[in-house]
Amino acid sequence: MRKYIRVLVVLSVALLAFIACSPQPTDPVSVTEAFFTAINQGKAEAAVNCFAKDGELISVFGQPKGIDSLRNYFQKSLIPLKTKLDVVDLKADGENVTGTFIIANSETNNVRVLLKLVGVVQAGKIKTMTWTTNK
């Protein structure tokens, strides 16, 4: 009986380890949503991990390119400003993702700007993401 309990415990631990180590999402919409969630939670490193090594974010707020530049931008700009990104809509066509979202300050929420998003996600990583005013 003890042998079966040990086997059950080992299998349970293995299952939990497998779940904890599950890969990040790879579809463009899920990757983009994971990035938004990371920014909203103030997790710069998680946001950086959504990007390819040579990934680029192009917006009126800055144009960081590459992991180090993105990390610096998130840590010194988006995260300290308590940026909140609220998805309005996202859709994918192959590796391309498009949609709209609202950017605001999570504390005051008094300045809300609707932006258009166009991006490319390859192998589960954001290659490029462009934010423009939704005109």
Q: pLDDT tens digit string along 14-39?
A: 443 333 333 467 899 999 999 999 99
- Please give the pLDDT value at position 25: 74
CA separation for the pair 61, 106 (Å, rounded): 17
CA separation for the pair 97, 91 (Å, rounded): 6
Rg (CA), the chain: 18
- Please give the pLDDT value at position 22: 39
What are the residue ranges spanned by the domains of the chain?
A: 24-133
CATH topology of domain 24-133: Nuclear Transport Factor 2; Chain: A, (3.10.450)
Q: pLDDT tens digit string along 66-91?
A: 999 999 999 999 888 888 999 999 99
Classify residue 59 as exposed, middle or buried by CB count within 10 Å of its CB (0-12, 13-18, 19+).
middle
Cα distances (Å, whole numbers) of residue 55 to 38, 44, 47, 101, 113 = 16, 15, 12, 20, 24
- Please give the pLDDT value at position 94: 95
